[in-house]
Amino acid sequence: MEQQELQALLDQLLIQVEEVGTFMSNHFGQVKSDDVEEKGKNSLVSFVDKQAEAMLVSFCEEAIPDSGFLTEEDTINKTGERYNWIIDPLDGTTNYLYEIPTFSISIALQEHGETILGVVYEVIRQECFYSIRGGAAYLNGQEIQVAQRSGIDAAMIATGFPYSEFEFVARQMNFMQVLIQEARGIRRIGSAAVDLAYVAAGRFDVYFEAKLNPWDVAAGIFLVQQAGGKVVDFSGGKPDLSGREVIATSGAMHQDFLQLFQDSFK
């Protein structure tokens, strides 16, 4: 896709994302327990997730008719030869249903397996983080970059906890004890897409988590990279978009954190 076409697509997508965000905001605090399903242990879904995804898929399918989709709520099952969308309509569903105002829309577009567009929209704050291939990363029209702080003692670190596959948790909690002593602060806000967007914007220095899904991280990883940050798996290698292992850092913090992680995360 040519740069001009990609920019035009982004411009239209941002309008659609805001419309979907308004739909979510209008129902925030209004979802009844009878409207909530449990997909698995601690994994919830409501009509808001499903309707939001349907709205986004409809737009994206019209924008690129032959595109494929990987979506959290399985609105559509289709793989495109060239273009594929990766969509989380409501990242932070539990926050949403418990009326905790941190949740987001996450959308990535891939061309031949390479991410070329990423959008994370934090709905309540009306903060839209976005970037396209060949461009900078932006927050509501202002260019953003990762933080320039150095040293773990100055680091604001974000993480999350799995809602299944709990064998990971013991090692994570041991490492958290190290971070509590070494870092400036640790945050767990409940939306992986927002965590990654905050690394891109320089609010967090580091984000790490495991046992995620592609729709949780695809757009956010792209944003961090576009804003000058680094994203690796737990071994320090190139991450895939499965979300199974993600460490995202500012460049200035990368080596210090990775060394501490690999020394301490047993």
Same domain assignment for residues 139 and 156: no
Q: Which residue has the tokens 């995804």?
A: 53
CATH number at 170 reads 3.40.190.80
Same domain assignment for residues 109 and 164: no
What is the tens place of the pLDDT at every residue in 232-247?
999 999 988 887 899 9
Average pLDDT over residues 216-244: 94
Q: What's the predicted TM-score (pTM) here? A: 0.95
Predicted local distance difference test score (pLDDT) of residue 18:
98
Domain total for the chain? 2
Of 127, 144, 161, which marks where a domain is finished?
A: 144
Task: Return the DSSP state at 78.
Answer: B
Greater confidence (54 vs 164) lies with 54
pLDDT at 212 over 60: yes
In this structure, are strands 142-144 and 114-122 parallel, antiparallel, or unpaired?
Answer: unpaired
Q: State the Cα angle at 86 between 85 and 91, rounded to 5°.
A: 140
**% pLDDT > 70, the chain:** 96
Predicted local distance difference test score (pLDDT) of residue 35:
66
Of 106, 127, 144, which marks where a domain is finished?
A: 144
Same domain assignment for residues 110 and 233: no
Predicted local distance difference test score (pLDDT) of residue 87:
97
Predicted local distance difference test score (pLDDT) of residue 72:
87
CATH number at 130 reads 3.30.540.10
Same domain assignment for residues 77 and 97: yes
| Inter-axis angle of helices 169-182 and 254-264, nearest 10 | 130
Same domain assignment for residues 55 and 126: yes
Same domain assignment for residues 80 and 191: no
Same domain assignment for residues 133 and 212: no
pLDDT at 62 over 70: yes
Same domain assignment for residues 121 and 19: yes
Same domain assignment for residues 86 and 187: no
What is the tens place of the pLDDT at every residue in 96-149?
999 999 999 999 999 999 999 999 999 999 999 999 999 999 999 999 999 999
Predicted local distance difference test score (pLDDT) of residue 170:
86
Helix (H) / strand (E) containing 105: strand 104-111
Of 90, 119, 144, which marks where a domain is finished?
A: 144
Same domain assignment for residues 73 and 193: no
Same domain assignment for residues 67 and 175: no
pLDDT at 44 over 70: no
3-state secondary structure of 188: coil
pLDDT band at 260 (very low <50, low <70, confident <90, very high): very high
Structure tokens, 246: 């993600």
Same domain assignment for residues 108 and 10: yes
The whole domain housing 232 covers 152-264
3-state secondary structure of 53: helix
pLDDT at 33 over 80: no
